[in-house]
């Protein structure tokens, strides 16, 4: 089916069930998880290890086929850490593995199948001794990492920079630029004087439209009512059991 046929009351019930799962089962897996996380298919999110924390309005889009995976590894005198800022978006299939420290600033966006690791996990010559080839990874504020990019150990990416799809980032990238390729290199400079609209704009009513505007939850509710209020239970059953080309 190409349309959402579930009636509004069913969508709201499923959303409440989803949020219950996030609060009851997913939140305890983080050392800290900020306010109002939005998680698609939270049962598929995989969180392993300690020292994993995320800020407010985290948006995780996970799926059975492309789960989001956050992993920290511990070893002798070493413990990985993952720190994710406010208003970040993490798309399906993103994998973040830390043996030292990986930090994402506020408003970062990681596209589908992005991989970030702060370690090579094994040495060039001694391949049975882990955690000796590592370096902290830092993404500044408002960094956008494109589809299927790989970010390796020791990389720092400056504020507002964009990593092109399919890039392999082995060296640090400065702020306010676009980098792409394998290995990734700067291909364009951004104008830092231009106003940068970040994901915070979506969630902060004072930033968006002034203090008298309703908060994000109410606006989302109004949007759902506009889009799905006409959906009926009988129409949902009909589209499920006997779909047509118009569904």
DSSP state string for 160-203: T-EE-TT-EE-S-B-SSEEEETTTTEEEEE--TTS----THHHH
Which of 34, 21, 23, 129 is CA-nearest to residue 85?
Answer: 34
* Residue 61 and residue 40 share a domain: yes
Domain at 116, CATH number = 2.160.10.10
- What are phi and psi for residue 19, nearest 5 degrees? -70, -35
Residue span of the structural domain in which 217 resides: 1-29+204-247
Catalytic residue among 5, 50, 59, 122: 122
| Average of per-residue pLDDT across 57-74 | 95
* Residue 131 and residue 16 share a domain: no
* Residue 61 and residue 162 share a domain: yes
* Residue 139 and residue 25 share a domain: no
Q: Would you say residue 207 has pLDDT above 60? A: no
Q: Which two structure tokens, joined as six digits, stand for 17?
A: 């069930």
pLDDT tens-digit profile of 84-110?
999 999 999 999 999 999 999 999 999
Count of structural domains, the chain: 2
Q: What share of the chain is helix, strand, coil (3-state, %, to 5)?
A: 20, 25, 50
* Residue 136 and residue 16 share a domain: no
pLDDT tens-digit profile of 147-164?
999 999 999 999 999 999
What span, in angstroms and rounded, lies between the C-alpha atoms of 94 and 114?
Answer: 5
Residue 122 known to be catalytic = yes
Work out the number of other CB atoms within 10 angstroms of the CB of residue 207.
12
Q: Which pTM value belongs to this model? A: 0.87
Is residue 96 a contact partner of residue 82, using CB atoms and an 8 Å limit?
yes
* Residue 181 and residue 71 share a domain: yes
Q: Would you say residue 34 has pLDDT above 90? A: yes
Q: Would you say residue 210 has pLDDT above 50? A: no
Q: What percent of the chain clears pLDDT 70, i.e. is strictly above it?
A: 88
């Amino acid at each position: 089916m190409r349309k959402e046929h579930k009636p509004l009351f069913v969508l709201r019930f499923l959303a409440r069930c989803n949020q219950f799962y996030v609060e009851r089962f997913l939140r305890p897996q983080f050392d800290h998880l900020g306010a109002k996380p939005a998680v698609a298919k939270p049962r598929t999110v995989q969180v392993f290890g300690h020292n994993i924390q995320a800020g407010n309005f985290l948006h995780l889009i996970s799926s059975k086929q492309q789960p989001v995976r956050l992993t920290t590894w511990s070893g002798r005198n070493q413990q990985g850490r993952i720190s994710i800022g406010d208003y970040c978006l993490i798309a399906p299939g993103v994998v973040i593995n830390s043996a030292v420290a990986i930090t994402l600033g506020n408003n970062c966006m990681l596209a589908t199948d992005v991989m970030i690791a702060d370690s090579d996990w094994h040495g060039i010559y001694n391949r049975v001794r882990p955690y000796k080839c590592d370096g902290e990874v830092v993404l500044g504020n408002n960094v956008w990492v494109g589809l299927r990019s790989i970010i390796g150990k020791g990389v720092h990416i400056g504020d507002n920079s964009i990593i092109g799809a399919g890039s392999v980032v082995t060296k640090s990238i400065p702020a306010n630029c676009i980098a792409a390729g394998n290995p990734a290199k700067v291909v364009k400079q951004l104008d830092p004087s231009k106003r940068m609209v970040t994901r915070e704009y979506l969630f902060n009513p004072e930033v968006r439209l002034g203090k008298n505007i309703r908060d994000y939850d109410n606006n989302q509710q109004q949007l759902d009512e506009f889009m799905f209020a006409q959906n009926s239970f009988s129409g949902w059953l009909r589209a499920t059991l006997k779909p047509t080309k118009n569904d």
